[in-house]
Chain A
Amino acid sequence: MTDATRRGFLIMAGAGAAAAGVAAIAPAAGQATPTITRSRGAARVSSPLVAYVRDARKGDVSVMVGEREVVVHDPELVARLTHASR
């Protein structure tokens, strides 16, 4: 897979995570990072975001947008991201 294709895939994957409703679960300053289980939702995020997988075995993705971070439990997405990074 070329770098360009990987980028495109990651952007799509990130958009998928964002669609899980991160905008609706923003923690207040100083609060712990919320963890949600991925579900299909309609929330839309227009800002750039970063998806971070620290330990693929846990199936968690940290999605950071603006000053917010949401941990999404989505083993399927983690597997796709892991595959894309190879």
Chain B
Amino acid sequence: MSSHREAPEISKDPVADNTDVYAFVSPDHPDSVTLIANYIPLQKPDGGPNFYEFGDDVLYEIHISNRGDARADLTYQFRFTTTIRNEDTFLYNTGPINSITDTTWNRPQFYSVTRVERGQQPHTLASGLTVPPVNIGPRSTPNYAHFTTEAVHPLPGNRQVFAGQRAEGFHVDLGSIFDLGTLRPFEMLHLIPSANAVGLNGTQGLNVHSIAIQVPKSDLARGSNTPTRPLDAGSVIGVWATASRQKTRIHDDDDGGWTPFGPFRQVSRLGNPLFNEVIVPMAHKDRWNALDPNDDKAFAQYVTNPELAGLLPALYPGVFPNLAAYAKPRADLQAILLTGLPAGIVAGFQNNTGPVLADMLRLNLAIPPATSPNVLGLIGGDPGGFPNGRRVIDDVVTVELRAVAGATIPLVDPSFTPDGAASAVTDGTANTNAPYLDTFPYLGTPAGGYQTTPGTPAT
């Protein structure tokens, strides 16, 4: 998946597990940028009575680099505090929750937002902000959609923030892809063939927890400017999100809880979707999660010689002969994932951040939102989408599959002719969860527990 359970250690710590990061010029407020970091993967909506929530012991951060050195020039930090209103009940809610301030919600969660500029003291923008309850069902959380509006909080500086449960917006055919790279629409061509089928969205009906913040472009750009010229180096920012835990914790035998100690240490990181998931070898994934993007040079070899590009011709015999014969390092993938595309490759576009090899989402702030967005983003002729940042609508699985399959090699090596399949390959999925919103926080209303239907029994 994008980054759900993508590394051995973090797969055991879902509360701190980054799943997706988005960064895009807000379509309804094009003078602003929306940054979204999702955590806690694969939430089954009926997973009570202790429903999903952010970790009070986790430091959640969204980082922005605007100087080209892949170090954080600006960080937004989010810290959560959970309380129990009635200690004599096992209930998450003691009656219908009609608003985020209702006392019937027995386990409310609050958070603070702190802004940290490189070399400056942290500045807390707000605290005591309320997280909405999860979507339990029509009796406990009736008319759930209104909680979204209630939980969008204004912040100083013409910013706004939301933190809480959302419908998973990322779609992928989990069941097939992890079954030896099967793509259902093409499985007749697989090494172990079966009849072609339609893709199944493995995240259908599941939720995540999102932290979304919308800020003026000038809040993020170098020199506090509002970029207007796409080809200026200062128009591009790098974005990634992390989760950190304190270095150690001690189990309290008296109350059964844990007490954390020590400085925060990063346990999860995410920039480009699927980077740690399908680029970094398993033995190095945990280490990658603990490092900064500035350290990614050590992983460049896995980008320029990706394992998946070797697997595709093996799993789909005869389908990718040109890809199989291509022996050069994948400069196209290095540009897309580690440096950004320099000017001169796509007319009027660049999102290059210089020579430092680093996995970050790279967003050119001077590119306006598309009036008719294409879910394939840049390779679909829409520079407003991935890999120019990432919008919630972007079909990053298809984009990255096609890129790895060779569709983007001609960007840097015109002598290469992609295989026909490179521009057709897809897992065949689309968003089948609640529709995306037209306004902040853009991800759809989370699925409700009562409304959830059981999965498919084993056969």
Which residue numbers of A lie inside 8 Å of B, CB to CB? 50, 52, 54
Determine the interface band of chain B, counting residues with CB < 8 A from chain A: under 10
Inside 8 A of A54's CB, which chain B residues have their CB?
250
Q: Is B228 an interface residue (CB 8 A)?
A: no
- 3 cross-chain CB contacts under 8 A: A50-B248, A52-B250, A54-B250
- Which residue of chain B lies nearest to A54 when distances are taken between CB atoms in the complex? B250
Shortest CB-to-CB span from A8 to chain B, Å, is: 16
Q: How far is the CB of A66 from chain B (nearest CB, A)?
A: 15
Give the docked Cα–Cα distance between A50 and B262 (Å): 12
With a cutoff of 8 Å between Cβ atoms, the chain B residues found around residue A50 in the complex are 248
Q: Which positions 239-267 of chain B face chain A at CB distance < 8 Å?
A: 248, 250
B254–chain A nearest beta-carbon distance, Å = 10
- How far does the alpha carbon of A50 sit from the alpha carbon of B250 in the complex, in Å? 10
| B248 contact set on A, CB distance < 8 A | 50
What's the count of A-B pairs with C-beta under 8 Å?
3
Q: For the complex, what is the distance from the CA of A50 to the CA of B248, rounded to whole Å?
A: 9
Residue of A nearest to B259 (CB): A54
Point out the residues of chain A lying under 8 angstroms from B250, CB to CB. 52, 54
- B102-128: CB near A (< 8 Å → 1, else 0) gives 000000000000000000000000000
A52 and B262 alpha carbons, distance in the complex (Å): 12
**Alpha-carbon distance between A20 and B248 when the two chains are bound, in angstroms:** 23
A70 and B160 CA atoms in complex are apart in Å by 50
Q: Which residues of B contact A52 (CB under 8 A)?
A: 250
- Name which residue of chain A comes closest to B253, CB basis: A33
Q: How far is the CB of A10 from chain B (nearest CB, A)?
A: 11
Against A, the Cβ 8 Å flags (1 = close, 0 = not) of B4-45 are 000000000000000000000000000000000000000000
CB distance from A41 to the nearest CB of B (A): 25
Cα distance A28–B391 when bound, in Å?
Answer: 56
Q: How far is the CA of A54 from the CA of B248 in the complex (A)?
A: 14
CA distance A50 to B261 in the complex (A): 11
Residue of A whose beta carbon sits closest to that of B248: A50
Min CB gap A34→B, angstroms: 15
